[in-house]
Amino acid sequence: MAVRKKRPDPSHQLSLNRSLNIRFYATFRVLAYDLGMVKNLRAFLKDESGATAIEYGLIAAGVALAIITAVKGVGTKLNTTFSSISSQLN
């Protein structure tokens, strides 16, 4: 007596294919998302528009520091001058 192989159930095969397709699609979506993130990261690293704002901020801080130093020096001299005038008036 010959052993006859059982034929696979077509509905089971369809279910298996659907499961594999869903897994492939999910994997593809994750990879596409990761590639998009890498693309966005590269674009962010190449973007230099923020560097200009930082440079202007550093220049403004340098100018402010120079003004504060100058005013402090002048303020000390003015204080000495007004103290001298006040003592002469009394």
Overall average pLDDT of the 50-66 stretch: 89
H or E element: which one contains 75? helix 49-89
The domain locations on the chain are: 13-47, 50-90
Question: What is the structure's pLDDT at 7?
Answer: 63
Question: Mean pLDDT, the chain, as a whole number?
Answer: 77
Q: How far is Cα 26 from Cα 54, in angstroms, rounded to an integer? A: 42
Token look-up 């003004």 returns 67
- What's the CA gap between 54 and 7, in Å, rounded? 71
**30-50: b (≥16 Cβ within 10 Å) or e:** eeeeeeeeeeeeeeeeeeeee
Confidence at residue 69, expressed as pLDDT on a 0 to 100 scale? 92
Section 41-65 average pLDDT: 85
pTM: 0.40
Q: Is residue 63 predicted with pLDDT exceeding 70?
A: yes
Instruction: Indicate the length of the chain as a whole number.
Output: 90
CA separation for the pair 23, 36 (Å, rounded): 20
Q: Between 90 and 86, where is the model more confident?
A: 86
